[in-house]
Amino acid sequence: GEDVEQSLFLSVREGDSSVINCTYTDSSSTYLYWYKQEPGAGLQLLTYIFSNMDMKQDQRLTVLLNKKDKHLSLRIADTQTGDSAIYFCALNAGGTSYGKLTFGQGTILTVHP
């Protein structure tokens, strides 16, 4: 089946940029997602990228997709303490369109003042 890998922890200082990385194995995915989970809450969609794109920018968020290397990254500019959360990358398994997603392990981002 699909395998999605993330590093478990990332620690940055407030104001710095954060880069969270994700690698995957299924090249048939049409959408790739970044979800954010704040303490005690469910997951919320942060952003997504269509598989025919290389980059997507949305305010402080930049998503880069390298299909050749099967590598997805999320860059958060000017990281704030409110960005401390768990970040999950996810893919629509087998290119399905109805929301059956495969998730990575999640990266715990800690932002220090």
Partner 1 sequence: DVKVTQSSRYLVKRTGEKVFLECVQDMDHENMFWYRQDPGLGLRLIYFSYDVKMKEKGDIPEGYSVSREKKERFSLILESASTNQTSMYLCASSTGGGHTGELFFGEGSRLTVL
Q: Which of 63, 65, 76, 92 binds partner 1 (CB under 8 A)?
A: 92
Asked whether 2 and 25 are in contact (CB, 8 A), the reply is yes
Residue 29 CB, nearest approach to partner 1 (Å): 10
Q: Would strands 9-13 and 43-50 be described as parallel, antiparallel, or unpaired?
A: unpaired
Residue 58 CB, nearest approach to partner 1 (Å): 14
Stretch that binds partner 1, among 11-19, 33-41, 53-61, 66-74 (CB under 8 A): 33-41
The reply on whether position 31 binds partner 1 by CB under 8 A is yes
| Distance of alpha carbon 24 from alpha carbon 59, whole angstroms | 25
Other CB atoms closer than 10 Å to residue 34's CB: what's the count? 22
| Distance of alpha carbon 67 from alpha carbon 28, whole angstroms | 10
The reply on whether position 24 binds partner 1 by CB under 8 A is no
The reply on whether position 33 binds partner 1 by CB under 8 A is yes
Write the CB contacts of 13 (distance below 8 Å, at least 6 apart in sequence).
79, 111, 112, 113
Q: Note the residues at the interface with partner 1 (CB under 8 A).
A: 1, 4, 6, 8, 31, 33, 35, 40-45, 48, 88, 90, 92, 96-106
